[in-house]
């Protein structure tokens, strides 16, 4: 096992009715900015619950944070936060609202030029407003991690950044707030959580049986509970299990002491930025092909995945690896996430487009061994055509 330092300060308020507790989690006297997206919270009663919980508190709101949150929109919110001397942010929505709010928290405090530099890595976050979250879409794990992914609309760049300053102080996970999700977003949540787990598991062995089994438990839970929660969106128990799986898939716990990949995500972000695929759709396209192309260096973990997650024990190692990957592909398809570019109206030319972009950006080696070159990225996307 590799050395690690792990500290996760996020307080989780899980279950029915937990929105009512938020006021006691926010410092008395704080001026609160409530942030949200395109309006789903006004239709499903979540906005009303938040309003009731904040009764008597001083708060203003900023709506309109879009899926794959835009830098341009978040800068407006940061400006508002500064102008109104806001001292606490409350994100109410999915991963995009939360990621956007994390960026707003940093941008509102940033004094050394353009906060976009924090996203590109040219500068570090200096400070951030404290934030809390009411999560309405289980997928990203943003509710319990230090990451945010921001899109600059003007240049179509979608980039992640990370800082311990943007851990939420608390996150409310009430599965009932997710009952109103359309099937496509539930499907996205299942696939995103699955691929997060994959990015931290499907590398090479470092003698970390506990992290491996925790990751395998998340895979198996998603495989069992995903179809149940799609079939019956108001089955509380199944949805609760999806919500908690998605959080555990990316709260840092399964990543401790092990190598991590993240090439699928970096390639997927380009498909979203250039062609508008939902985040999880982009992962469903890239992941099976990437595992095929990297099956030599991921061999041991692919064999373990095939056996422990899919119970594949017959055949040569190559056959078992192939079957494991195909089982994963079939699972993504079965929950409603097509795994080929063609299903999203995209042709093979996308492969060169993405590879050239990464080359230009100097991203010459992705993955746990930094060996996923632009040439391999092209190959991966051609395989996914």
Which residues here bind ligand NZQ, judged by CB under 6 A?
37-41, 44, 67-68, 93-97, 99, 136-137, 139-142, 145, 147-149, 177-178, 180-181, 185, 188, 192, 250, 265, 279
Q: How far apart are CA 59 and CA 319, in angstroms?
A: 59
CB 169 within 8 A of CB 131: yes
Q: How far apart are CA 243 and CA 236, in angstroms?
A: 10
Q: How many residues at the interface with Zn ion, by CB under 5 A?
A: 1
Quick check: helix, strand or coil at residue 70?
strand
Binding partner at 45 among ligand NZQ, Zn ion, none, C-beta below 5 to 8 Å by kind = none
Of the candidates 360, 350, 356, 349, which has an alpha carbon nearest to the alpha carbon of residue 375? 356
Closer of 99 and 192 to Zn ion (Cβ): 192
Closer of 181 and 328 to ligand NZQ (Cβ): 181
CB count in 10 Å sphere of residue 332? 24
CB of 224 to Zn ion, least distance (A): 21
Q: How far apart are CA 220 and CA 171, in angstroms?
A: 25
Regarding 322 and contact with Zn ion (CB under 5 A), the answer is no
Q: Which of the stretches 37-45, 69-77, 191-199, 309-317 binds Zn ion when contact is defined by CB under 5 A?
A: 191-199
Binding partner at 93 among ligand NZQ, Zn ion, none, C-beta below 5 to 8 Å by kind = ligand NZQ
CB of 31 to ligand NZQ, least distance (A): 23
Helical packing angle, 183-201 and 279-293, nearest 10°: 40
Return left, alpha or beta for 163; rule: phi > 0 is left, psi -120 to 50 is alpha, else beta. Answer: beta
Quick check: helix, strand or coil at residue 313?
coil
CB of 318 to ligand NZQ, least distance (A): 30
Closer of 192 and 212 to Zn ion (Cβ): 192
Closer of 14 and 304 to ligand NZQ (Cβ): 14
What is the greatest pairwise CA distance in the chain?
66
Binding partner at 197 among Zn ion, ligand NZQ, none, C-beta below 5 to 8 Å by kind = none
Binding partner at 226 among ligand NZQ, Zn ion, none, C-beta below 5 to 8 Å by kind = none
Closer of 204 and 262 to Zn ion (Cβ): 262
* DSSP line for 241-300: HHHHHHHHHTSSTTTTTS----HHHHHHHHHHHHH---HHHHHHHHHHHHHHHTTTTTHH
Q: Which of the stretches 6-14, 127-135, 186-194, 357-365 binds Zn ion when contact is defined by CB under 5 A?
A: 186-194
Regarding 192 and contact with Zn ion (CB under 5 A), the answer is yes
Q: How far apart are CA 223 and CA 331, in angstroms?
A: 8
What is the per-residue binding string for Zn ion in 139-178, x denoting contact by CB under 5 A?
----------------------------------------
CB of 265 to Zn ion, least distance (A): 6
Q: How far apart are CA 308 and CA 220, in angstroms?
A: 9
Binding site for Zn ion (CB under 5 A): 192
């Amino acid at each position: 096992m590799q050395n690690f330092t792990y500290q996760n300060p996020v307080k989780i308020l899980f279950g029915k009715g937990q929105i009512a507790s938020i006021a006691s989690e926010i410092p008395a006297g704080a001026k609160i900015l409530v942030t949200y997206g395109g309006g789903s919270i006004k239709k499903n009663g979540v906005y009303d619950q938040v309003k009731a919980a904040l009764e008597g508190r001083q708060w203003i709101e900023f709506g309109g944070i879009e899926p794959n949150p835009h830098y341009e929109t978040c800068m407006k919110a940061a400006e508002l936060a500064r102008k109104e001397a806001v001292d606490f942010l409350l994100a109410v929505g999915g991963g995009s609202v939360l990621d956007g709010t994390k960026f707003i928290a940093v941008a509102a405090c940033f004094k050394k030029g353009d906060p976009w530099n924090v996203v590109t890595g040219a500068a570090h976050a200096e400070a951030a407003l404290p934030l809390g979250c009411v999560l309405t879409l289980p997928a990203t794990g943003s509710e319990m991690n230090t990451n945010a992914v921001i899109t600059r609309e003007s240049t179509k760049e979608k980039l992640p950044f990370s800082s311990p300053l943007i851990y939420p102080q608390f996150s409310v996970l009430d599965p009932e707030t997710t009952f109103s999700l359309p099937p496509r977003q539930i499907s996205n949540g299942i696939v995103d959580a699955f691929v997060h787990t994959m990015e931290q598991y499907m590398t090479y062995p470092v003698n970390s049986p506990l992290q491996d089994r925790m990751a395998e438990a998340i895979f198996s839970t998603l495989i069992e509970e995903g179809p149940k929660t799609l079939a019956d969106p108001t089955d509380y128990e199944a949805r609760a299990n999806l919500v908690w799986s998605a959080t555990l898939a990316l709260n840092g716990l399964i990543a401790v002491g092990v190598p991590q990949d993240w090439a699928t995500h970096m390639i997927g972000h380009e498909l979203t930025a250039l062609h508008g695929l939902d985040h999880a759709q982009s992962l469903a396209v890239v992941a099976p092909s990437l595992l095929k192309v990297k099956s030599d260096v991921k061999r041991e973990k692919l064999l373990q995945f095939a056996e422990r997650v899919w119970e594949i024990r017959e055949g040569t190692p190559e056959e078992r690896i192939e079957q494991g990957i195909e089982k994963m592909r079939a699972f993504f398809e079965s929950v409603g996430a097509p795994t080929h570019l063609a299903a999203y109206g995209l042709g093979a030319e996308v492969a060169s487009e993405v590879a050239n972009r990464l080359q230009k950006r100097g991203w010459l080696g992705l993955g746990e061994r930094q060996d996923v070159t632009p040439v391999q990225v092209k190959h991966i996307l051609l395989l996914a055509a």
